[in-house]
Amino acid sequence: MTYGTTDFEIRQEECCNATVYLVYPNPFMLEGSTGRRLRRSRRGSPKSSRERIQQWLYRFLKETSFEPFLSLKASWRRGGQEGQWFWARTLDDLASCPLRAYYSLVQAKGSIPYTIAGFEFQRKAIRLLKTLEYFEAFADPGIRGFRTSSEGLSVCASFGEIRLCGRPDFVGLFSNPFVTWVVEVVQTSDWRKTLQRSIYRLDFYAQGIFELFGLPISLSIFAPEALIWIVLEDHKWAIELEKRVEELNGMLDFEIALKRAKRVSNRPCQSCAYKRLCPLSKE
């Protein structure tokens, strides 16, 4: 890894059986690193903080990129949100609580678990990401409950009878280096909790976008205080994703989901969007 920069600190850690690189502070939040579109300086002129960060970022994207192993049970395609399908974000719900996954799968009406501040941070983050120069970029400026007209990229996969579709917050294709940058935007300081909840959905994005474009994937979480890179290059991730999808299929049965949920000791009942519907939230 190239750690040759004085603008921020880089740490390598392990979480969820994945290699994680944390960059503090978030380079896009540094003074002088954003604003107008990032461009090279004129010949002979000193490099600005913005240009140094951009050049480091391009190297780091290449060094953190990987080619994910693809699930043999999945049939990938771009778009295709017709017929019976479910949001890939339901994988996050399954990681939190089986009953939450059930209510999400049956599209029960719950409260919106997002704040206006979180929504605005997401839009700001995407604006900052767009200041880089891409071969092609796809950005989804909306979130569930606040969906707006979108330029986002929809990725869908059929796992037998289960079809999942997801729309990453940001996807950028670079020609130099040849890398696809997939970014999830979250307004949180607890990156471990975010990764534990969302790692299977992030792997779903990585596999699907790699299948669509064929470029190595650089996978990131954009948080207010840091940029986090996750490397999922072990073949076991393809198998683990298949297992999660099979579990998700079982959560379509309320009794099975209820029985599984009773075994979860740290259910997020008070913050759950479906707490008014769920019988366990009243216990």
Q: Which DSSP helix (H) or strand (E) runs through 117?
A: helix 116-129
Q: For position 48, what pLDDT does the model report?
A: 59
The pLDDT averaged over each successive group of 10 residues in the chain (283 residues) is 63 92 87 45 50 84 93 84 82 92 82 67 86 85 50 86 90 91 90 92 96 95 94 90 92 92 80 85 72
| CATH class given for the domain over 9-36+50-282 | alpha beta
Rounded CA separation 140/153 (Å): 7
211's enclosing H/E stretch is: helix 191-213
Q: Record the pTM.
A: 0.87
Distances (CA, A) of 129 to 141, 212, 269: 12, 21, 34
Tokens of 139: 């950005």
Q: What is residue 29's predicted lDDT score, i.e. its pLDDT?
A: 80
The residue ranges of every structural domain in the chain are 9-36+50-282
AA identity, residue 116: I
- Could you give the CA distance from residue 145 to residue 6 in angstroms, rounded to a whole number? 40
162-166 sheet: strands from edge to edge: 74-78, 155-159, 162-166, 86-87
Percent of the chain predicted with pLDDT > 90 = 41
